[in-house]
Amino acid sequence: MSRYTLQPGMIVPQTPFYYCDIDLLQRTLQTATTEAARYGYQIHYAMKANAEPHILYEIQQAGLGADCVSGYEVECAIENGFHPSKIVFAGVGKSDREIEYAIRQGIFAFNCESLQELEVINELAGRLGKQVNVALRINPDVRPHTHHYISTGQSESKFGISYAEIDAALAELHAMKNIRIFGLHFHIGSQIRELESFAELAGKVNEIAAWFTSKGVELRHLNMGGGLGIDYNDPDGEPIPDFAGYFRTFHENLRLTPGQTVHFELGRSIVAQCGELITRVLYTKTTAGGAHFVITDAGMTELIRPALYSARHKIENLTAAAERRPIGLCSIAGPICESSDIFARDIEFPESHRGDILSIRSTGAYGSIMASHYNMRPTAPSRFSDGTIWGQSNLAEL
Ligand SMILES: *Cc1c(COP(=O)(O)O)cnc(C)c1O
C-alpha cells in the first residue's frame, strides 16, 4: 500500500503533490552505502533523478558524492553541501561557461564524451592555469534490456567516445598538458533489471582497461555509471533495490589493478521508491465504445514518464481501497491537452468517483525534476513525511 495513508476525517492538502518518505530514503541510502563499502566502492548520486534540497541533504549526509550532467547541477550540488572533490561532471554537450565554472570550483573529474570536448577542456583549463582530471566516457557497445530511449551504451548512441577514435588520437591526447586522463567512465542505460547486463559491462571494461594500460595510460579510477533498475510493478515487494547483488556482480567480474578505485553513479535506485504522486479524481466517464476513463488533476506536466517512455507506474485509489469497492477495467488520464497524457491504459482498477485520492507509485526519480509548465500549470509541491514542504507555488491556489 501507498506510504501516504488516508486517516478518517483527514483533510488532504491541495493536489497534485509529490509525497516523499524520508525514512525509506534513509534506509535505501544505508543499504546502498553498506553494500558498496564491502568492496571500497564509491557512489555518486545522479542529481538529474531528483534535486530537491531535502533529498540532496539526506544523500550528502550519507556520504555520497554527486554526478552532474550540467553546470547548473554542479552549482546546485555545491549549494547543497557536496564538496567539489566529490563531484563528477558528465554530458555530451557541456558549454564553455559550464566547463569554466566547474574548473574554477575544482571538481573531482570531467567525464568526457568526445575528442573535441577534450581539446576545449584542455584549452579552457590552460587559460585558467589549471590541470584537470578527466575520465573518458567509452562506449562499450553493450545493449541492456531496457527501453531504447534510456539505453545509452550501444555503438550508434550519441553518448561516449569509441575505442577506435581514441586509438587514432592517443598521441594528441598525451600532448594536452592541461588535462590528465586518469580514468574511464561508462554508463550503458537506465532501469536495468538483469544483473547479467552489468556482468557483461564489467567484462568489456576489463578488455578496454587492459588496452589503455598497454598504451601507457594509467587508470586510477573506473566509473561504472548507474542504471540499476527498480520494481515498478511491485514497489512494496521490493522497496529497496538489490544493491547487494549489483555491487557483487561488479566485484565478481571486474579485474582491478592495485590502487584502482571504482565509482558508481546511481540515481533512480536511490530515490524512485520513496516518492509518490498524490492526485485527485476530477471526473469519470465512459466513452461511446464503452471504455472507462478516470481523469486526474495530475498530468504529464507533473509526471512525463508514461508519455515519454511508455513507462508504467503502479496506481492505487486510496479512497476506494479503504471502502473495498469492486474492480473493473479503466484508463487513467491527466488533464493536459495532449493525447499522450495518459498514465495507464485499460488496467484493473477499483470503481472510482470524483474526489477520490490516488497515488502514483515509484515516482521519486525522474518525476518532479522533469515537470513542465505546459498549459501554464504551476509547480506541484513536494511534501515530506517529516512535515517539510518544498516548491510550493507562489501562484494563487486555484
Ligand atoms: C542518468 C545517468 C546516471 C543515472 O542513471 P540511473 O539509471 O538513474 O541510475 C548515471 N550516469 C550518467 C552519466 C547518467 O547520464
- SS3 label, residue 192: strand
pLDDT at 158 over 80: no
| 109-112/132-137 β-pairing | parallel
pLDDT at 116 over 70: yes
Rounded to the nearest angstrom, the distance between the alpha carbon of 187 and the centre of ligand 1 is 7
What is the pLDDT at residue 394?
Answer: 55
Rounded to the nearest angstrom, the distance between the alpha carbon of 397 and the centre of ligand 1 is 35
Q: Give the chain's mean pLDDT.
A: 94
Sign of CA dihedral 79, 82, 88, 90: negative
pLDDT at 159 over 80: no
What is the pLDDT at residue 295?
Answer: 98
pLDDT at 243 over 60: yes
pLDDT at 150 over 60: no
State whether the beta carbon of 21 lies less than 6 angstroms from ligand 1: no
What is the pLDDT at residue 232?
Answer: 98
pLDDT at 157 over 80: no
Which grid coordinates belong to 38?
A: 564491502
User: d(Cα 356, Cα 353) in Å, to the nearest integer?
Assistant: 6
User: d(Cα 74, Cα 176) in Å, to the nearest integer?
Assistant: 24
> Nearest to residue 365, comparing CAs of 188, 195, 232?
232
What is the pLDDT at residue 151?
Answer: 57
Which grid coordinates belong to 86?
A: 566529490
State whether the beta carbon of 66 lies less than 6 angstroms from ligand 1: no
The Cβ of residue 216 has, within 10 Å, a number of other Cβ atoms equal to 8
What is the pLDDT at residue 13?
Answer: 95
Percent of the chain scored above 70 by pLDDT?
94
pLDDT at 141 over 80: no
**Comparing 120-124, 161-165, 255-259, which segment has the lowest mean pLDDT?**
161-165
Rounded to the nearest angstrom, the distance between the alpha carbon of 227 and the centre of ligand 1 is 6
Q: What is the mean pLDDT of residues 327-353?
A: 97
State whether the beta carbon of 68 lies less than 6 angstroms from ligand 1: no
Asked whether the beta carbons of 170 and 109 are under 8 A apart, the reply is no
What is the pLDDT at residue 297?
Answer: 98
Closest ligand 1 atom to residue 227 Cα is 7
For 6-62, how does the pLDDT look when each residue is reduced to its tens digit (9 = 90+)?
Answer: 998 999 999 999 999 999 999 999 999 999 999 999 999 999 999 999 999 999 999
> Nearest to residue 195, comparing CAs of 229, 231, 246, 152?
246
Phi-psi region of 387 (alpha: psi -120 to 50; beta: other; left: phi over 0): left
State whether the beta carbon of 69 lies less than 6 angstroms from ligand 1: yes
Asked whether the beta carbons of 266 and 29 are under 8 A apart, the reply is no
**Comparing 24-38, 129-143, 192-206, which segment has the lowest mean pLDDT?**
129-143
Could you give the residue ranges of the DSSP H alpha helices within the chain? 22-37, 53-61, 71-79, 96-105, 115-127, 163-175, 195-214, 243-253, 268-271, 305-309, 318-323
What is the pLDDT at residue 154?
Answer: 57
pLDDT at 397 over 80: no
Asked whether the beta carbons of 118 and 96 are under 8 A apart, the reply is no
What is the pLDDT at residue 170?
Answer: 84
User: d(Cα 30, Cα 247) in Å, to the nearest integer?
Assistant: 14
For 371-388, how does the pLDDT look when each residue is reduced to its tens digit (9 = 90+)?
Answer: 999 999 999 999 999 999
State whether the beta carbon of 137 lies less than 6 angstroms from ligand 1: no
State whether the beta carbon of 44 lies less than 6 angstroms from ligand 1: no
Ligand 1: residue of 55, 67, 68, 269 to mutate (most ligand atoms within 8 A of CB) is 67
State whether the beta carbon of 190 lies less than 6 angstroms from ligand 1: yes
pLDDT at 395 over 70: no
What is the pLDDT at residue 322?
Answer: 84
pLDDT at 144 over 80: no
Rounded to the nearest angstrom, the distance between the alpha carbon of 111 and the centre of ligand 1 is 12
Q: What is the mean pLDDT of residues 238-245?
A: 98
State whether the beta carbon of 187 lies less than 6 angstroms from ligand 1: yes
State whether the beta carbon of 226 lies less than 6 angstroms from ligand 1: yes
Asked whether the beta carbons of 314 and 235 are under 8 A apart, the reply is yes
Q: What is the mean pLDDT of residues 212-235?
A: 96
State whether the beta carbon of 266 lies less than 6 angstroms from ligand 1: yes
